Amino acid sequence: MSLSRRHLLAAPALLLLPRVAGAASACRPVDLNKGIAFRRQDGSTGLARREPDGLVAIDYVTNRGAWIDQRRAMNGVFEVQRTVEESEEPMVGASAPTYSWSYSPRIITPEDGAAWDGTVKQVVEVTISDEASTVERRRAKWTAHYRCFDPREVKLSGCFHLVLSVEASFVGKGGSWTQRWVYFPQLGLGLETVRDGKENGITALTPV
């Protein structure tokens, strides 16, 4: 991931604030190619940037010590890689697990009313820090359903943005789970807002 970690402060903003006629604008336009900083409801700050290969690199946690949640996504939403360590203290003995996903059939670009049904193959890799640096791999396969809906305008950090909701459900031998994003079609960026029923909305969106 090509994102550098920085401690970014941004004024809080409501995710679903309607446009008010005549309201003063403090908008600072954002550009995914240059980098976008964001804040979530739990206070975590993050960074997103489009990479040269067209994938979007997202670092969801840049201000919580050793906590790691770094992802790469196609078309702003379809994640292809995630490295995660949900602890603020450094861990010893093993690397943070890395998840990778592949999709069949070809993925879509999110737009109102669009849906995607297919198979998602998952590989989880963990490197054990022993004498041989053993790499453990686990594989899984999921049946997935994505749907795009609820186009609306929201205000974040003084700017109005068109957004869509994108929701995905996954079913496999290991159980089931759900995920939800707010997708910005004009930016090509999707940011996770719900995972397994836990909400964590976006409260700020600013240029890096």
Neighbouring C-beta atoms of residue 87, cutoff 10 Å: 12
Report the pLDDT value the prediction gives residue 189, as an integer from 0 to 100: 98
CA angle 147, 39, 50 (to 5 degrees): 65
Task: Check if the beta carbon of residue 5 is closer than 8 Å to that of residue 66.
Answer: no
Strand partners, 39: 45, 204
Q: What is the pTM of this model?
A: 0.83
Structure tokens given for 45: 């700050």
**Per-residue pLDDT at 166 exceeds 80:** yes
**What residues contact residue 202 under an 8 Å CB cut-off, 6+ apart?**
15, 38, 39, 40, 41, 156, 182, 191, 193
In this structure, is the dihedral angle defined by the CA atoms of residues 74, 152, 160 and 9, taken in order, positive or negative? Answer: negative
Distance (Å, whole) CA 18 – CA 31 = 22
Give residue-wise pLDDT tens across range 16-64: 444 554 454 689 999 999 999 999 999 999 999 999 999 999 999 999 8
* DSSP per-residue letters across 75-119: TTTEEEEEEEE--SSPP-SBPPPEEEEEEES------TT-EEEEE
- Tell me the pLDDT band of 90, cut-offs 50, 70 and 90: low
Domains of the chain: 36-207 (2.40.360)
